[in-house]
Homo-oligomer: A and B are copies of this chain.
Amino acid sequence: MTNGSLLVTESQLGRKAQAGPIHRRSLLKELRARGVRITSQRRAVIEIIQEVPRHLDAAELLRLAREREPEIDRATIYRTISLLKHQGLIDELDLMHIEGEKHYYEVKTSKDHCHLACLRCGAIFEYTSPAFEELRKEIAKQGSFQIAVVRLEVGGICKKCSAAAGVAGKRPS
Q: Which of B145, B148, B150, B162 contacts A125 (CB 8 A)?
A: B145
Q: A3–B156 contact, CB under 8 A? A: no
The answer to whether the Cβ of A158 comes within 8 Å of any Cβ in the partner chain is: yes
Copies of this protein chain in the complex: 2
Q: Residues of B contacting A4 with CB < 8 Å?
A: 138-139, 142
Q: Residues of B contacting A145 with CB < 8 Å?
A: 6, 116, 118, 125, 154, 156-159
Q: A101–B94 contact, CB under 8 A? A: yes
The answer to whether the Cβ of A56 comes within 8 Å of any Cβ in the partner chain is: no
A–B pairs, 26, beta carbons within 8 Å: A2-B138, A3-B138, A4-B142, A6-B142, A6-B144, A94-B101, A96-B149, A116-B145, A118-B145, A119-B148, A129-B135, A129-B139, A131-B135, A135-B152, A144-B159, A145-B154, A145-B159, A146-B156, A146-B157, A148-B155, A148-B156, A148-B157, A149-B156, A151-B151, A152-B152, A153-B153
